[in-house]
Amino acid sequence: MGRAFGGESFFVNTFWVEAQPGEVVFAPGAMGDMQHYVLDGSRGLALQRGAFVANGDGVEVSGRFEGFKGFFSGEGLVLLHATGAGELFFNTFGALVNIDVAGDYYVDTGYVVAFEDTLKYEITTVPGLGIGQKIKTFIFGGEGLVCRFSGTGKLWIQTRCIVLLQLDQPLPPVKKSGN
């Protein structure tokens, strides 16, 4: 049920082979990159709505309620959370950018694809702007809310955002602060 609330199908296909080699080929729904990630049991991975493609034995994928933090991040009230030990595949819309976060890292909410659960995140406003600039940016530009990741871990972002692509706007810059 958690997967369904996280934007994924309630139904899952299972493939196996008996007594001979076999191969399964799969592709993402959106045009973009696919990432293979191996969970080792020491940390989990949070995935945005629609990013999950497939997992191997030993990986549990469920929904994790994020409350209003998830709602304002643009990802919905539930993120998918993968735990356990085994293989996981996820996809992006556009190219995939892998970022090693150590400290604080800010990114527009529409570009977040996945992150290790060793990272904490919060929805905040663009750093460095005065209150008047923040209000103006939010009202007239529809922007102003960003995800601030903190800690140490991997973060994956995508180079395209469906909403911004439809509005024919350029990719916003990614700002790093901290170390």
Beta bridge partners of 78: 65
Mean pLDDT calculated for residue range 47-61: 90
3-state secondary structure 83-102: EEEEEEEEECCECEEEEEEE
Q: What does the domain layout of the chain look like in residue ranges?
A: 2-7+33-171
Chain segment 154-174, per-residue pLDDT in tens: 999 998 875 543 444 455 566
Mean pLDDT calculated for residue range 93-111: 91
**What CA–CA distances, in Å, run from 101 to 69, 92, 108, 132, 173?**
20, 19, 15, 30, 16
Report whether 46 contacts 79 (CB < 8 A): yes
Q: Which of 18-27, 117-126, 148-157 has the highest mean pLDDT?
A: 148-157
What does the CA dihedral 86, 89, 90, 92 come to, rounded to 10 degrees?
140
For tokens 């209150």, the residue is 131
- Is 106 or 179 the better-scoring residue by pLDDT? 106
Name the DSSP letter for residue 32.
Answer: B
Among the residue ranges 14-28, 30-44, 156-170, the one predicted with the least confidence is 156-170
pTM: 0.71
* pLDDT above 70 for 105: yes
Mean pLDDT calculated for residue range 86-108: 92
For position 143, what pLDDT does the model report? 56
Summary mean pLDDT of the chain: 76
* pLDDT above 90 for 126: no
Integer Cα distance of 8 and 156 in angstroms: 19
CATH entry, 2-7+33-171, from 3.30.70.20, 1.10.645.10, 3.40.50.2300, 3.60.160.10: 3.60.160.10
Mean pLDDT calculated for residue range 102-108: 91
* pLDDT above 60 for 59: yes
Integer Cα distance of 75 and 148 in angstroms: 14
